[in-house]
Amino acid sequence: MNKHYIYNPKISRKTKYMERVAIFPGSFDPFTVGHESIVKRAIPLFDKIVIMIGFNSNKRSFFPVEKRLKWINEVFKNEPKVTVESHEGLTVDFCKKVNAQYILRGLRTSADFEFERAIAQVNKKMYPKIESVFLLTMPEHTPINSTIVRDIIFHGGDPSMFLPASLDMSEFKLDE
Ligand code: ADP
């Protein structure tokens, strides 16, 4: 991990500055404008954000992990602070692997809050060094979730207004 040095006038000497690394875990099946907005708004808050595509090899996903990796990489190709990796297993184990101190999550509704609260508290119990950080969704993204976008794609609708604008929409046609 890179370590920078900053001047801290309180102790009048050079102090080691630990990179602030956050992970943004999710299934991102697919990655929507709601996810994109959370990551973009979090960029000024952290030195590095690792988007973690969580998967379970026993469960079938709609889009293969390789496609999800490719699409998210495409969205952030000009953003050096953001990287993407896939992970099977506990989120806290991935935090340890990439030296992350923060878990970033988005909150749309009070139902999200209750769900996220339990996950964050359990993660904190399992790995006390980790802090969960929540950003409220932009109002226009509140109704968007991957399940609805999958349904639109599955039934041949146009999902483009719910997907990051930089993506090639022809890739979301099921028969291609
Ligand atoms: P999971 O499978 O863990 O629910 P998702 O891929 O659905 O993962 O979402 C990952 C994160 O993105 C979660 O914190 C979720 O609350 C957040 N999120 C999902 N959709 C939106 C949205 N439209 N606006 C803001 N945050 C969102």
Question: Which of 3, 16, 59, 125 is flagged as catalytic?
Answer: 59
Sign of the dihedral through C-alpha 117, 121, 127, 132: positive
Q: pLDDT-derived band of residue 118, with 50, 70 and 90 as boundaries?
A: very high
From the options 3.40.50.300, 3.40.50.620, 3.40.50.880, 3.30.70.2860, give the CATH code of 20-172: 3.40.50.620
pLDDT surpasses 80 at 1? no
pLDDT value of position 94 = 98
Structure tokens, 15:
């102090």
Say whether 4 is catalytic.
no
Report which protein residue has its CA nearest ligand 1's atom 16. Answer: 106
pLDDT surpasses 80 at 51? yes
pLDDT value of position 18 = 87
Sign of the dihedral through C-alpha 63, 66, 69, 71: negative
Task: Report pLDDT digits (tens) over 156-174.
Answer: 999 999 999 999 888 887 7
Q: Is 167 helix (H, G, I), strand (E, B) or coil?
A: coil
Task: Report pLDDT digits (tens) over 64-109.
Answer: 999 999 999 999 999 999 999 999 999 999 999 999 999 999 999 9
Spans of all domains in the chain: 20-172
Task: Report pLDDT digits (tens) over 120-147.
Answer: 999 999 999 999 999 999 999 999 999 9
Residue of 169, 22, 163 whose CA lies nearest to 106: 22
Question: What mean pLDDT is predicted for residues 20-24?
Answer: 98
Main-chain dihedrals φ then ψ at residue 18, nearest 5 degrees: -80, 130
pLDDT value of position 13 = 60
CA dist., res. 143 & res. 141, Å (int): 6
Model confidence, pTM: 0.90
Say whether 87 is catalytic.
no
Say whether 57 is catalytic.
no
Residue 80, CA distances (Å) to 22, 128, 141, 142 in order: 14, 28, 25, 27
